[in-house]
Structure 1
Amino acid sequence: MTAPLFRDDPYLRDCEAQVTGITPEGGIVCDQTVFYATGGGQPGDSGWIDWGQGPVAIATCVKAGDEALALVPAEPAALPAVGTRITQRLDWDRRHRQMRVHTALHLLSVVIPLPVTGGQISAGKGRLDFQMPDPPEDRDGIEAALNALVDRDLAVTEDWITEAELVANPGLVKTLSVQPPRGAGTIRLVRIGQGRGQVDLQPCGGTHVARTAEIGQLRLGKIENKGRQNRRVNLLLDR
């Protein structure tokens, strides 16, 4: 089992950890990690590890079983033995930009209140695919509404519900292509805004900024036709 430290504190940039295993593909499994593992349209984190032999670049982090996460070296390298204590350090600039984009995509699903059929996040841009037969008539209005939500500096917090509560509230799930993982007994919800100022609440396991103002200004990119019933809406960070 790998304790996902990023879930409790997405701003944690480094940590000490103990190697608990090496996967057949050469991934390094630890007892805990600050590296987010690829999932839900969000790429795994990159960065470095060190155990006194010089830093080794980590290209990504992936799931390696139900509760284990593996750090994947960027190039073939000598790996730390099981039991070794290592230091993990994120490529923080990349992670933080992904946090900004991920939170911005939640806002996009508020401004365009249609079922989501897919999505992808990267450092600096992202996209959502919507069940949208016709293109939106006012793209400038969409961009303005997004930036208005950013400027409100809404708090981004989390909550947890049981799987039974999610089943009883199916409207919380906006994505048609990806369902929240089940089996652990509880589901993490990400909330934007508080009380009467709440604008969004949906299941999500990704990393997010603490307040919407941290996203910065957004630009609406291309709106692409992806089939008779689908449109892809691209979103970019302004800086």
Structure 2
Amino acid sequence: MSTQDLFREDAQLRECEAMLLRADERGLLLDRTVFYPQGGGQAGDAGTLTLPGGREIRIADTRKGEGGEILHLPAPEQDLGGLDALGGGLPVTARIDWSRRHAHMRFHTATHLLCALVPHPVDGCSITAGYARLDFHMTDALDKDALTAGIARLVAEAHPVSHSWISDEDLDANPGLVRSMSVQPPRGSGRVRVLKIDGVDLQPCGGTHVANTAEIGAVVVTKIEKKSAKTRRVVLGFASDAASAPAA
């Protein structure tokens, strides 16, 4: 059964009321959720599910299941006694760890700014709450300070961020929209989600993002690596974390 993915239209939602449909070794399945499942390079959400009576289940991760299912994975070392007997329309409150999610949103949007500054195909991506990285298919050298300054400029310019949907046929007619070599836009539903940063970037993306580049805050390039003859890796961090890091 497909889970209604509320985060796809509104990444600012922090909680929702839902129905617990199934609880087994695969995870907890809800009819609708605000939890983003790992995918497209972005880590899955963590948070809590609150059952009637106030019982709280800590969710450590969220993954994709079969047929559009979104599975909420309970954190280990908590009492889940009787959980396998639950389901069948039990109401729950699903609440994400907002600080973790917001970090994902800030970093994910920042990677789109980085794509605008480095006009080469992307062949690897990872977005977590502590860092983000993009691997670019290229041979040219990159300047860490110049990229940091470029991101800061685009953040300060406060570009609105929005999304829309296009058909599979529209995407086929505009192959230049796809920047990623390693992760292709999901197909099969008949439509593809496209992220737009006004005047900066336009490409298919199913992840969560902030509503304006100003919300990203201070992000810096912490490292540039030559991963292979044709791959350059750029790692991003929050400026506050970089400033407090001990000297190497």
TM-score by length of 2: 0.91
Matches within 5 A, 1:1-20: 1-20=2-21
Kindly tell me the number of residue pairs found equivalent between the two proteins: 233
C-alpha distance in structure 1 between counterparts of 2:144 and 2:27, whole Å: 43
C-alpha distance in structure 1 between counterparts of 2:217 and 2:6, whole Å: 25
Matches within 5 A, 1:1-239: 1-23=2-24, 25-51=25-51, 52-75=53-76, 77-78=80-81, 79=83, 80-136=86-142, 138-193=143-198, 198-239=199-240
One-letter amino acid of the structure 2 residue matched with residue 37 of structure 1: P
Deviations 1:93-129 (A, max 9, x none): 0000110000000100001111100100011310000
C-alpha distance in structure 2 between counterparts of 1:131 and 1:26, whole Å: 36
SS in structure 2 at match of 1:226: strand
User: How far apart are residue 134 of structure 1 and its match?
Assistant: 3.3
One-letter amino acid of the structure 1 residue matched with residue 12 of structure 2: Y
Deviations 1:15-42 (A, max 9, x none): 110012234x241111100100110000
Q: CA RMSD in A?
A: 1.2
One-letter amino acid of the structure 2 residue matched with residue 212 of structure 1: T
C-alpha distance in structure 2 between counterparts of 1:233 and 1:30, whole Å: 37
Conservation of the 8 A alpha-carbon contact between 1:6 and 1:36 = yes
Structure 2: tracts of 5 or more residues without a match: 241-248
C-alpha distance in structure 2 between counterparts of 1:172 and 1:81, whole Å: 42
C-alpha distance in structure 2 between counterparts of 1:98 and 1:174, whole Å: 20
One-letter amino acid of the structure 1 residue matched with residue 229 of structure 2: R
Identity of aligned residues (%): 47
User: How far apart are residue 149 of structure 1 and its match?
Assistant: 0.3
Deviations 1:26-61 (A, max 9, x none): 411111001001100001100011112521100111
One-letter amino acid of the structure 2 residue matched with residue 45 of structure 1: D
Structure 1: tracts of 5 or more residues without a match: none
